[in-house]
Amino acid sequence: MGGSVKVLWAPWRMEYILSPKGKGCFICDAIEHPDEEETLVLHMAVGEGIVLLNRYPYNPGHILVAPMRHVANLGDLSPYERGHLMELLNLSIRVVWEVMNPEGFNVGMNLGKVAGAGLKDHLHLHLVPRWGGDTNFMPLLADVKVVPEHLKSTYGKLRRAFQKAIGG
């Protein structure tokens, strides 16, 4: 490769690097304070579940869908709760598709710390919009992910779209 080393600044990562880990549940905090912008709540269906923007997204529009109850395993939810979790996931897909026009989605759960769960005690689904060419060499070479839109911009667009979708 030769030549000088190029520097890519990603100052937003310092918030995550320096933030305290393992203290409380950010999903439960969001449930307690859904109207505070910093919780990134997009939609909350009381008694059913919550949809929030991921603070450290893989791609713009990376959403978390979680039950209201603080449980770690899918089997700990009632059939009613599991059904509502899927309804919130479906609503989230519709809204993100309309607002961000992705070419597809990854949907998944990280169950347990070894599976990559950053929050292993409050079950949640990840909804990650995907576009052709949205991954590149940066994560491999520099341990950096380039996200092309500011989190607050994404939040504003999606929050308005959720409100419109549910008639609010």
Q: What is the pLDDT of residues 103-116, one digit of tens each?
A: 999 999 888 787 77
Contacts of residue 168, defined as CB under 8 A and 6 or more positions apart, other chains included, come to: 162
Examine residue 54 and state whether it is found in any structural domain, yes or no: yes
pLDDT score for 1: 47
Active-site pick, 62, 84, 122, 124: 124
pLDDT score for 5: 57
Examine residue 74 and state whether it is found in any structural domain, yes or no: yes
Calculate what percentage of the chain has a pLDDT beyond 70.
76
Average pLDDT over residues 8-25: 62
Examine residue 3 and state whether it is found in any structural domain, yes or no: no
- Pick the range with the lowest mean pLDDT from 8-17, 30-39, 61-70, 134-143: 134-143
pLDDT score for 150: 77
Examine residue 90 and state whether it is found in any structural domain, yes or no: yes
For residue 36, what is the domain's CATH number? 3.30.428.10
pLDDT score for 6: 54
Active site residue 124: yes
Q: Is the pLDDT of residue 24 over 60?
A: yes
DSSP structure string for 10-52: -TTHHHHHHS--SSS-HHHHHHH-TTSGGG-EEEEETTTEEEE
Measured CA to CA, the distance from residue 119 to residue 138 in angstroms comes to 25
- The number of folded domains in the chain is 1
Condensed to tens digits (0 to 9), the pLDDT of residues 126-166 reads: 999 998 876 654 444 445 555 556 788 899 999 999 999 98
Measured CA to CA, the distance from residue 42 to residue 29 in angstroms comes to 14
- Residue type for 90, please? N
User: Domain range spanning residue 122?
Assistant: 25-165
Examine residue 42 and state whether it is found in any structural domain, yes or no: yes
Examine residue 18 and state whether it is found in any structural domain, yes or no: no
Condensed to tens digits (0 to 9), the pLDDT of residues 74-92 reads: 999 999 999 999 999 999 9
Q: Write phi, then psi, for 62 (nearest 5 degrees).
A: -70, 115
